[in-house]
Amino acid sequence: MSNTVQADSAVGMHFDIRLKDGSIADTTREGEQLYWLSMGQNEMPAAFEEKIVGMRVGEKQKIMLQPDEAFGQPHPANIFQVPKNRFANLDQPLEEGMIIQFNEASGKPRPGIVRTIEETEVTIDFNHALAGHVVLFDIEIMEIR
CATH code of the domain in which 67 resides? 3.10.50.40
Question: Is 97 contained in some domain?
Answer: yes
Domain that holds residue 16: 10-72+130-144
Evaluate whether residue 38 is within a structural domain: yes
Residue 54 has pLDDT above 90, yes or no: yes
**pLDDT for position 31:** 79
Q: For the chain, what is the domain count?
A: 2
Neighbours of 123 (CB within 10 A): 16
Domain identity same for 42 and 111: no
End-to-end CA distance of the chain, in Å? 5
Nearest to 14 by CA among 39, 44, 34, 31: 34
**pLDDT tens-digit map of 79-105:** 999 999 999 888 899 999 999 999 988
Output phi, psi for 33, to 5 deg.
-85, 130
Stated pTM of the model: 0.80
Q: What is the C-alpha to C-alpha distance for residues 123 and 82, in angstroms, rounded to an integer?
A: 6
Interval 2-23: pLDDT, tens: 789 999 999 999 999 999 999 9
107 in any annotated domain: yes
| Structure confidence at residue 1 (pLDDT) | 61
In a domain, 29, yes or no: yes
The answer, yes or no, to whether residue 40 has pLDDT greater than 70, is: yes
